[in-house]
Structure 1
Amino acid sequence: MKIIRLIILLLSALGISSILNAAGMVLPWLFGSMAATFLFIRFVTDDFYFPKWMGNLGVFVIGFEIGSTFTMDAMQEMIGDIWNIFFISLLIISLSLGLSRIFMKLTGCTPETALLSSVPGALSQMLILAEEDKKADLMLVTITQMSRIILVVILVPFIASLFASDQAVSSEADEPAPLLSEVLEPSMLLIVAGAFILMYIFKLVRFPVPFLLGPIISVLIWNIMTGHHFSLNIEFMNVAQILFGIRIGRQITSLLYQLNSRMIVSMLIQNILLIGGTLVITGIYQMFTVHSFNNLFLSAAPGGIGQLIIVAVEMGADIAMISSYHIFRIFFIILIVTPLVSWYLRYRRRRQDRT
Structure 2
Amino acid sequence: MLLLLAITVSWVLNAAGMILPWLFGSMIATFLFIRFATKDFYYPKWLGNVGIFVIGFEIGSTFTVDALHEMAGEMANIIIITFLIIGLSLGLSTIFMKLTKCTPETALLSSVPGALSQMLILAEEDKKADLLLVTITQMSRIIMVVILVPLIASFFTADSGTAAVAEDQGPLLTEMLDPSLLLILAGAFVLMYLLKLIKFPVPFMLGPIIAMLIWNITTGHHFSLNIEFMNIAQVLFGIRIGIQISSLLYQLNSRMIVSMLIQNTLLIFGTLLIVGVYQMFTDHSFNNLFLSAAPGGIGQLIIVAVEMGADIAMISSYHIFRIFFIILFVTPVVSYYLKYRRRKHSET
Q: 1:172 to 1:137 in 2, by over 3 A?
A: closer
Q: Which residue of 2 aligns with 1:297?
A: 290
Q: Which residue of 1 aligns with 2:328?
A: 335
Q: State the shift of 1:177 in Å.
A: 1.2
Which structure 2 segments of 5+ residues have no match?
A: none
Q: Which residue of 2 aligns with 1:5?
A: none
Q: State the shift of 1:349 in Å.
A: 1.1
Q: Which residue of 2 aligns with 1:221?
A: 214
Farther off after superposition, 45-54 or 295-304: 45-54
* 47, 53, 73: which one aligns with 2:46: 53
Q: 1:11 to 1:213 in 2, by over 3 A?
A: same
Code of the aligned partner of 1:186:
P
Distance 2:201 2:160 in 1: 30
* 239, 255, 265: which one aligns with 1:262: 255
Structure-2-length-normalised TM-score: 0.98
Q: Is the 8 A contact 2:82 2:293 kept in 1?
A: yes
Q: State the shift of 1:168 in Å.
A: 4.4
The answer to whether 1:253 aligns with 2:246 is yes
Q: Which residue of 1 aligns with 2:317?
A: 324
Code of the aligned partner of 2:268:
I
Q: State the shift of 1:169 in Å.
A: 3.8
How do residues 273-312 of structure 1 correspond to structure 2 at under 5 angstroms? 273-312=266-305
Code of the aligned partner of 1:72:
V
Code of the aligned partner of 1:254:
S
The answer to whether 1:26 aligns with 2:24 is no
Q: State the shift of 1:308 in Å.
A: 0.1
Q: 1:319 to 1:132 in 2, by over 3 A?
A: same
Q: Is the 8 A contact 1:167 1:294 kept in 2?
A: no
Q: 1:78 to 1:292 in 2, by over 3 A?
A: same
How do residues 1-355 of structure 1 correspond to structure 2 at under 5 angstroms? 8-164=1-157, 168-355=161-348
Distance 1:165 1:74 in 2: 17
Q: 1:287 to 1:137 in 2, by over 3 A?
A: same
Farther off after superposition, 48-57 or 261-270: 48-57
Q: State the shift of 1:49 in Å.
A: 2.0
Identity of aligned residues (%): 78
Distance 2:161 2:22 in 1: 25
Segments ≥4 residues shifted beyond 3 Å: 165-176
Distance 1:272 1:219 in 2: 35
Structure-1-length-normalised TM-score: 0.96
Q: Is the 8 A contact 1:177 1:229 kept in 2?
A: yes
Q: Is the 8 A contact 1:125 1:338 kept in 2?
A: yes
Distance 2:290 2:160 in 1: 11
- Specify the SS of the correspondent of 1:287: helix
Which structure 1 segments of 5+ residues have no match?
A: 1-7
How many pairs does the alignment contain?
A: 348
Distance 2:120 2:226 in 1: 36
- Specify the SS of the correspondent of 2:164: coil
CA offsets, 1:149-185, max 9 Å, x none?
0110011000000112656444345555100001111
Distance 1:350 1:169 in 2: 51
Code of the aligned partner of 1:221:
I
Code of the aligned partner of 1:100:
S
Distance 2:121 2:219 in 1: 39
Distance 2:27 2:321 in 1: 29
Distance 1:258 1:160 in 2: 30
